[in-house]
Amino acid sequence: MKHKNIAVGLDIGTTKIVAMIGAENEYGKVDILGVGKAKSLGVHRGVVNNITQTIQSIQAAVMDAESQTNMKIKEVVVGIAGQHIRSLQHSDYITRSNPESVIDENDIDRLVNQVYKLAMLPGEEIIHVLPQEYKVDGQPEIKEPVGMYGGRLEANFHVVVGQVSSIRNVARCIKSAGLELAGITLEPLASANAVLSQEEKEAGVALIDIGGGTTDLAIFKDGIIRHTAVIPFGGNVITEDIKEGCSIIEKQAELLKLKFGSAWPGENKDNEIVSIPGLRGRDPKEITLKNLSKIIHARVVEIIEQVYLEIKNYGHEEQKKKLIAGIVLTGGGAQLKHLKQLVEYITGMDTRIGFPNEHLAGDSDSETTSPIYATAVGLLMNALERNNNFVEIPGEEKAKEVEKNTEEPVQKIIKTEPKPQRKSIIEKWSDKLKDFLDNAE
């Protein structure tokens, strides 16, 4: 099957770098063609701190993906995260010169561009300007002002800000790895697109993406992003603590966490013991699983409490801002046993584990639908969307005719029509199975 629209998402994480090649199939779902991954060596807490190592890791991941698909990767959409990300609310307005004409896309662009010019702290740059609701001539709560009459167009914006130097370093790594940067997206937004359903975004939901170096949070309500935050702890601090607490090397600590780790200390009996080979002829170490889960529990509670503080800051306790769909956990850290129960216990909110199969084709490999790949899938979807605005839907003749009558190249004019979204039988079946497994935990 020949794919017309192929794109690549590149997730530069603290523990791994993933290059994901994918295309859109005829149902508007995403077919994943290849996933390349490499150990991430030059990234700390979501921020590049060693350019050379990061470039090598990016090249390794890209080559891995290319070898699976026999394609050459030219440009990528990259995620940005890290402790330097902050978000703020801002409202702005424009006065239209001709209130007799209806509001169009240009007016909205003008308003958004005005927000991009906001004065930031030295060394900061605006990454995203996301409109929340609009007001037209003082009439509030308008979701889509295009086509309405009005003289004053006003909007509340969710503005995401990051450090210029960090963003530049990421861009530099991409360029030096021989790739072009097609776009930058905030990682919590990418993960949210991959994992959340539209119903959840409407009802109100907090997405918690627990990565290696950072934990990302994105809160939606009424279908609109309301709050984003990046907390500078992730799975790695848990591994660090196991390493210190049990006096073992990092590799062993990571394995212990993955194989025997649990976020709930009550689960393990006192007599459950793991024996770990000693270094170079030393005696093996014996570690009780109860102690292991106590260490993990203490750290995880800390991470969740930080996130819960952010959810409270957003105003979850107000009736109007209540997050009815609760919490969705994703990212590699979401695979920790009994984490769902612990999060429910601490926050009192309904919780589920988020798999990025919301928009994937039904026959996707079970490995790619793991929570580990949530961000990569989201970035890939973002890359496909960017490409999509440049896919010619009408026939060649129509396009030429449009081009004749206008100065602009045809790509800018012809936007794609959204394809009908249908769930295949396999997807419905996998959803049922997933629900069953979620409840069985």
Per-residue confidence (pLDDT) for residue 82, from 0 to 100: 85
Per-residue confidence (pLDDT) for residue 277, from 0 to 100: 87
Mean pLDDT over each residue of the chain, to the nearest integer: 86
Q: Is the pLDDT of residue 151 over 90?
A: yes
Least Cα distance to 159 among 216, 117, 222 occurs for 117
Mean pLDDT score, 178-185: 92
Per-residue confidence (pLDDT) for residue 3, from 0 to 100: 67
Share of the chain above pLDDT 70, in %: 87
Report the alpha-carbon distance of residue 392 to residue 369 in Å, rounded. 30
Confidence band of 1 (pLDDT split at 50, 70, 90): low
Q: What confidence tens digit (pLDDT) does each residue in 223-254 have? A: 999 999 999 999 999 999 999 998 899 999 99
Tokens of 106: 């240009």
Confidence band of 270 (pLDDT split at 50, 70, 90): confident
- The highest-confidence range among 259-268, 297-306, 360-369, 429-438, by mean pLDDT, is 297-306
Q: Is the pLDDT of residue 408 over 90?
A: no
DSSP code of 362? T
DSSP code of 317? T
Report the alpha-carbon distance of residue 234 to residue 46 in Å, rounded. 10
- Is the model more confident about 441 or about 225? 225
Q: Is the pLDDT of residue 25 over 60?
A: yes
Report the alpha-carbon distance of residue 387 to residue 7 in Å, rounded. 7
Angle, alpha carbons 254-256-258 (nearest 5°): 70
Lowest mean pLDDT among 121-125, 128-132, 337-341, 408-412: 408-412
Report the alpha-carbon distance of residue 246 to residue 360 in Å, rounded. 41
Rg over CA atoms, the chain? 23
Least Cα distance to 131 among 152, 110, 101 occurs for 110
Q: Where in the chain is the domain with CATH 3.30.420.40?
A: 235-300
Looking at CATH, the fold of the domain delimited by 86-164 is given as Dna Ligase; domain 1 (3.30.1490)
Q: Where in the chain is the domain with CATH 3.30.1490.110?
A: 86-164
Per-residue confidence (pLDDT) for residue 2, from 0 to 100: 58
What single string gives the DSSP state of each residue in 381-429?
HHHHHHHHTT---S-HHHHHHHHHT-SS-HHHH-PPPPPPP---HHHHH
Class in CATH terms, 235-300: alpha beta
